[in-house]
Amino acid sequence: MSADDEQFVDTESPDADDLSEEFDDHDSDLDGGIVPDDYDELDDDSTDDDDESDDDESDEDEADEDDDSDDEDGSDDEDDYDDYEDATEEDIDFCVALYREDGVAVVTELAPQLANDLDELVEQLRRLPGDAGALGVVSIAGQFFVLCRVRGRMVQVLLSDSLSANDWPIARDVVDYLGIEVPDPDDDSEALGDFDMLTDQGVSEFDMEQIASDLEEDSDQLARQIIDLMKFSGPFERAVN
């Protein structure tokens, strides 16, 4: 070989082992410890997503259980009311509204269906132009009476016989409105509600309790005593007759 050819020969050319080590070092530099960390983060994110998914499913299950429970409660209430029969026109002694308009006593006979539904009775009384609200008086079969006074958004109720809530819809409505459990049929009867609801109309709390708690007299006669104390007797008799 000539001297000129030797100039183009690399006397320090790396061998195959050196090249292999160099490539290994290069791969290690590319990893740099970053890829494993990234995998860890991905694993953590995946775990978090799984946890959130489990939590969401748990919340949905609880919500479904609550809805089912509410549906069952509502169904039970409806089933309870299905056991009641509305008072017929023959059962209803009277269903009237009392109020004063410009100081004049007015008594209006109400539709029979209002003697079976407290909510509808309240809505009808709210429409009347009473100076101090309006009073609904309902007597059923001589067994019990209901008073309902409505003044704007204020509603006061009284039921003369708690046990009637086992048999008659409007009595059950009053008990529910007062937030009281329907009494056991074997319990003693008692009057329930706002005994002071007519103190400004001439009926003291004491008189109201005495009249409402009288178990010997028929309910229509007891209601007439209250109407008389309010000085509505004349208009009342004209309305019911």
Claim to verify: residue 111 and residue 42 sit in the same structural domain? no
Q: Which of 129, 130, 139 is nearest to 171 (CA)?
A: 139
- Same domain, yes or no: 54 and 137: no
Distance of CA 219 to the CA centre of its chain: 32
Alpha helices (runs of H) in the chain, residue ranges in sequence order: 3-6, 16-31, 34-82, 118-126, 169-178, 205-212, 219-229, 233-240
Q: Are residues 105 and 45 in the same domain?
A: no
Q: Are residues 106 and 185 in the same domain?
A: yes
For residue 193, list its beta bridge partners. 158
Digitized pLDDT (tens) for each residue of the chain, 241 residues in all: 444 444 434 444 445 454 445 445 544 444 444 444 554 544 555 555 555 555 555 555 555 555 555 555 555 555 566 689 999 999 999 999 999 999 999 999 999 999 999 999 999 999 999 999 999 999 999 999 999 999 999 999 999 999 999 999 999 999 999 999 999 999 999 999 999 999 999 999 999 999 999 999 999 999 999 999 999 999 999 999 8
Count of helices and strands (H, E) across the chain: 8, 6
Question: Could you tell me if 123 and 220 lie in one domain?
Answer: yes
Are the C-beta atoms of 98 and 134 separated by less than 8 Å? yes
Residues 175 and 77 in one domain: no
Verify that 121 and 56 share a domain, yes or no.
Answer: no
192 shares its domain with 97:
yes
Give the residue numbers spanning the domain of 133: 92-240
Phi, psi values for residue 119, rounded to 5°? -60, -45
Tell me, yes or no, whether 199 and 161 share the same domain: yes
**Do 109 and 127 belong together in one domain?**
yes
